[in-house]
Amino acid sequence: MSEFNPQSPRPEQSPFRTPKQYAVYERILRLLGDTVATYWRDACDIANNHDFRTKCNLVFHLLREIDGYIRELAYPVSDKSKKDDDTECQRADHEASIDEVAKVLGLYNDPVIKEWKKVREFYKYAHRASLQTIRSFDEGSWNTYERVIEVLLHRIESRYSDFEKTIDLLVNKKHPTAADLTILGTRVPHSPVSLSRFFNKLQHPEWITGLRKKGYFNPPQAEQGVEYAWFPLWPASDYLVRMSPKAPDVVAEIYQSMDTNHPRVFIDMMRAATSMAPDLAANMLVNSHVLEKLTQLKFPENEVSGGIVHLIKGKQIDAALQIMKKVFALRKGEEYGLRQTESVLGTEVWHYQKALKSSTDALQTEYCDAAISFLLELLEYVCDLQGRKSPDDASSFWLPAMETNAQNLYSTGFEVVILHTLLNTYESELNRSPDRLAEFIGVLETKEFNVFERILLHLLVEHGESELGLVTKHLLSEENLNNRDLVHEYSRLLRRYFPQLTQDNQARVISYIESGSWNEKDSQDEYSEKRKKSWQRDKLSIIRDTLRAEQAELLRRLEAELGETDESAEFAHYFKSWVGPESPLTIEQLRAMPFDELHEYLIKWKGAAPSEWAPSEEGLGRELQKLFAERPEFYSKEAMRFAQLDPTYVRAFFAGIKDGRKKNPKIDWQCLLQLCEWVIRQPRGESRANDDLLERNPHWGWTRQAIGEVLVDGLLEKSNPLIPVHRTRVWEIATKLIEDPDPSAARETASTDLLTLSINSVRGYAFEAIMRYMERVIITEESLVQEHSPELRLSYIPEVDKFLKYFSANDQSLMNRYQLGFWFPSLLNVNMKWATKIRESLFAEVSDNVALREAAWEGYSTHYLPNQELARLLRPNYLWAVDHYSPPTDETQYLRTDPYANLGNHLAYMYLIGSMKLNDELLRDFYAKSTDAVNGHVWENTAKQASGKDGESHYNRVKEFWQFRFDETRKDAQIHYKEIRAFGWMSRIEPLDPIWFLSHLQLVLDLTPDIELEHFVAKKLAELSSEYPRETLLCIEKMIFRSQFAVWNIDDEAHVVFANALASGDAEVAQHAKEAINRLIARGDEKFRDLL
C-alpha cells in the first residue's frame, strides 16, 4: 500500500522515512494548517535525508515550534505573565501549560503526558549552550516526539468543534482589535476546514486591513507536476469576493498585488470584478500577475464570462479583449482528427463554448467589429496551428458544412466552436445591417486559408441577393469551382444563383464544367477520363433545372453511363452510417398482406448484393419473425408452405413460433414437426460464396439450431402434447440434430467458453432437447402409475439409456462432453446406478484424453453445487481435480468460470452440507495451492450459499469455516487481503448472530483498510446500533477513519450509528461518539454537526 496520498503533491525524494511520519504530516496539514505541517515536513526531511552536523539543533528547533503552537492553541486561558527567558520559570510554565492543555484534551491521566513533559528537555538541543562540541542527533528523543505528536493530534481532532467556538466569537465582532487578530492566529486551527468556516461566516469588511497585515491574503501557488496538478484550497479569496461590493478599492488592490498561478484566484477575481466599477475592475484584472501566470483553467464558464461581460458593458473593451485572448488561447492538439486543437489552459470544449458565446454576444452588441476581428484572428491562428501550407486548412474535415447539416454531427472541436461563433456573429450583424455584406466580404477576401473563402461563400448564399455582383464574381472564379475544400459552399451558391446569372456568365460556368476539373488535366491514367466525367456529372446535376438542351443531353448521357450522383458529391468529406439489416417491408405492411400474397412475395423477392446498403433477406426475416410471433397457431398450420423458401425465412419462422408461444403456447405440432423433418432431410450445404452474414443465412445450419430451440421450448411446456403424442418423431429429430457438424472440432478447440458455444450451436440445443425429452418422458410415465422408483424410471427411457451409454464412452466432442457434465446431476436423479456407470466413462480416471475429461468436469462444476450423493459419488474426481487444476496467475481473470475457483466453491459447500470435515485432505490440498483472489471468491460464494434457503442450517458451519480460515489468514493480512475483506458478505446472511458478527467484524477491520459490500455492512451496523451501540460504533469508526478522507458512501448509516450511540445512555459510548463526530467535522464533513 502506498504511503503517499495520490491527491497530494509528491516530492521527488520523500522527506518521510515511514508511513507513520507521512500520516502525521497529513494530519497536521488537515488539522493545523500548512505552516505547522511544513515545520514537521522539514524536520522529517532533515532527520531522514541529510547529514548536517547541526541536524540536532535544526530538527528540535522545528519541533519546538510545533509544540509551542499546539500548547498555545489548546491552552484554556490567554493571560500569560511569565517570561520565557527565565529558565526555571520557563520550565514551570511549560509543565503547567501541559497540565492545563491535558485537561482540555482529556489527557490528564494519560501516560503520554509524562512523555510530553520530558520532550521539554529535548528543546535544549534547539540552541547552543556553549562553543563546545556540537551535539549529535538524538534518535530516541525523535521517536518519543513522534509518539507524543500522534496522541496530541488525535485528541485535537476529537475535540475539534470546541476550537471552532472561538471562530463564532470572532466573526461576530465588526471591528477587530489587535488581540482578536492574535487570537485568530494562535487559538484557531489554520486548517482548510477551520479557515473556511471563519471566512465563510465573516461578513464585515473592517477585518480586511488587519487580515492583510497578518498575511491571510497571500495566495497559495498551484503546483504542477508531470502527472498531477494540485490546487490548494484558499477560503480567504471567497471572503474577498463577498466584500468586493462593500470595499471594492481595497479588494481590487489586494487582488492586483497577488502573484500566483492558482486558477481559483483568477476565477474569484472575475467574480469580484462584477461588483466593482468597470474601470476599477479592468485595472485590477489587466495589471494582475494572476492573469499573466495563469496556466490552467477548468473554469465555471458563467463566472469567467461574467467578468468579461461586465467589462464590455462598462466600455472597457481593451481590457476585455486582453483577457479573452488569454482565456480562449489554443494550441495544437495531440490527437489528429479527434482534437485538431486544445485549450492552452486545459479547458473542456463545453465550458469553452459557453464562455466564448457569452463573451462575444456581449461584445457584438455594441462593438461588433471588435468581436469579429477577435474571432477572425483566433480562427486564423487555429489554421496556422494545423501546420499546413495555405490555403489548405482541413476545415472541410472538421466542419463539413457551414449551415446546419447532418454532416456536422461529429464536429465538436474548439476550432468548430470558434467558427460557429464567428458565423453567428456575422449573421446577427447582417440581420441588423444588411448593407455591411460587401465590407465583410472584402475583409474575408484578404485571408489566405480556405475556411475564410468558405465563410465568404456561405454569407453570399444566405445574404447575396443585395450583392449579385459579388455573387457573380465568386461563381465565375474557376479556382473556386475546382477547389475541393470549397465544394459544398460553392455548390450551394451555384444552385441558388445560377438562374440569376446573365446568359453569357451562365455560358462561362458551363464552359468551365465542360473543360473538366483542373485536377484531371495532367492526369493520364486509365481512370482519368471516368473521373472527369464524374466531376462533370456532379456539377451539371446541381443546375439541371436550368440547363439548356445541349447540356441537359450531356447530363443524361453521363448519368446513363455512370449512374445518378448523390449528396456525397457536394462534400469534400462525407460521413455515412447505416443501421441494418434492413427490411423492404415494415411489420405493418407484412401484417396487411394475405398469407398467399406473402408466400408469393417471399418466393420472388431477392435482396441486394451483400456489398450494398439496402434491404436484404436477413432484414426481411427479422420483421417476419415479429409477424409469426403475433399468431403462432395460425402460421404453424401453414408450416409446410415454408418448405423450398430461403433458409433465412424458415429460420425466422421457427424463431417467431418460439417467441409467440410465450403468450399463446397452442400451436399445430403435427405441421411444425413435419417442416422440421423436411429441413433435416435437406443437405446442410456449404456457406454461400461472398455472402455477408447480415444479408442472408449461409446454409441450413442456422435453421437447424432454431429447430433445436423450438423443441427445447416445447418440451419445457407442462401442458404440451409433444410427449407422448409425438414422442418418436421428437426423438428422431433430436438425434439427427446431435449429428450436426456445428460446432466443428476446430471451433471447439479455439473456444474458451464451452457454455457459450453450446447455446450458440446446433448440437448444443440438440443435446438439451434430448435431456428435456428424458425428463418429460419420465414425468409423463410416472403420472400414469402410483409406484415411482429409479428402476422403473430407467425402463421408461431405453432409447436414452442406449444413447447415453454409447455417447459417454465414444463421443470425442469437447462441447458434447461439457454438456454431459452439465446434465450429470439430472442423470443421478433418474437412477444412481445408471449415473454411476456413465460417470465411469464420462469422468474416466484412465482416459488418455485429458481435454475431454476437463470439459466434462467443468460442465459439471461450473453450474452446480453438489448434494451429499454427488459429493460421495464424485469424491475420486474431486481428488483428481485438486491435483490437476491450478489457480489462475492473472488476478484480474473472471473467476466465476475458472475451474479452480469453482472447485473451491464446491469444497466449501461440501463442508456446509456436512459432507466434509475441516481437516479433510481436499480442503488441505486446495488451500495449499490456492491464491488470495480465489480464496476471496470462494468465501463470497460460501456466504451467498449460507444466505439461501438452507441458510439457517448452514450458519453455524459458516462461522466454523470462517474461523478455520481466519486462524490462518490473520497471520499475514497483506497476503490474505482479499479473503479477509470478503467477510463483508456475511452481512447478507439471515438470520445473523449479531454478537459473533460484530466481534469478528472488528477483528477484520483491524487487519484490512476496507471490506467487501461496505454499504451493506454499514447498513447492517445501522440496524444493530440501537441494541449494540458500543460494538457498532467501534466498527463504523474503523470503517470511516481508514483514510484521511471524510466518509461519503456510508454517511447515512454512520449518522444512524452515531445518533444511537449518543442516545444509548452509556456516557463512555456517547463521549466516544462525540469524539468521532468531531473528527469528521475536522475533515470537513458537515453532515454530522447536527448531532452535537
How many whole angstroms separate alpha carbon 704 and alpha carbon 698?
12
φ, ψ at 4 (rounded to 5°)? -115, 140
Residue 430 in 3-state DSSP? helix
- Per residue in 284-333, pLDDT tens? 999 888 888 887 777 667 888 999 999 999 999 999 999 999 999 998 87
Domain ranges in the chain are 19-158, 203-299, 585-699, 1013-1091
How many whole angstroms separate alpha carbon 166 and alpha carbon 180?
10
| Eight-class DSSP state of 687 | P
Contact 97, 106 (CB under 8 A): no
How many whole angstroms separate alpha carbon 498 and alpha carbon 492?
10
How many whole angstroms separate alpha carbon 850 and alpha carbon 839?
15
Residue 178 in 3-state DSSP? helix
How many whole angstroms separate alpha carbon 994 and alpha carbon 1027?
10
| Eight-class DSSP state of 137 | P
In sequence order, the 6+-apart residues with CB closer than 8 A to the CB of 848 are none
Cell numbers given for 962: 470462517
Cell numbers given for 784: 400414469
Nearest to 934 by CA among 994, 880, 975: 975
How many whole angstroms separate alpha carbon 492 and alpha carbon 543?
10
CA atoms within 13 A on the CB side of 645: 26
In sequence order, the 6+-apart residues with CB closer than 8 A to the CB of 843 are 821, 853, 856, 857, 874, 877, 880
Assign residue 761 a region (left: φ > 0; alpha: ψ between -120 and 50; beta: otherwise): beta
| Eight-class DSSP state of 330 | E
Distances (CA, A) of 960 to 957, 999, 1001, 1007, 1035: 5, 14, 15, 20, 22
- Parallel, antiparallel, or unpaired for β 341-343 and 330-332? antiparallel
Residue 750 in 3-state DSSP? helix
Residue 332 in 3-state DSSP? strand
In DSSP terms, 229 is beta-bridged to: 224
Q: What was the pLDDT predicted at 108?
A: 80
Instruction: Tell me if the pTM is above 0.75.
Output: yes
Length of the chain: 1092
Other C-beta atoms closer than 10 Å to the C-beta of 425 total 21
How many whole angstroms separate alpha carbon 773 and alpha carbon 732?
11
Nearest to 509 by CA among 535, 470, 540: 540
Contact 793, 831 (CB under 8 A): yes
φ, ψ at 398 (rounded to 5°)? -80, -15
Could you tell me where the DSSP H helices lie in 347-502? Answer: 349-385, 395-398, 414-432, 437-445, 450-463, 468-475, 478-482, 487-497
- Four-CA torsion 334, 337, 339, 340, nearest 10 degrees: 80
In DSSP terms, 373 is beta-bridged to: none
Other C-beta atoms closer than 10 Å to the C-beta of 244 total 27
How many whole angstroms separate alpha carbon 231 and alpha carbon 542?
58
Q: What is the 3-state secondary structure (H, E, C) of 35-48?
A: HHHHHHHHHHHHHH
Residues in the chain, pLDDT under 50: 1-11, 77-91, 336-339, 689-690, 693, 846, 1046
CA terminus-to-terminus distance, the chain: 35
Kind and range of the H or E element at 626?
helix 617-630
Residue 92 in 3-state DSSP? helix
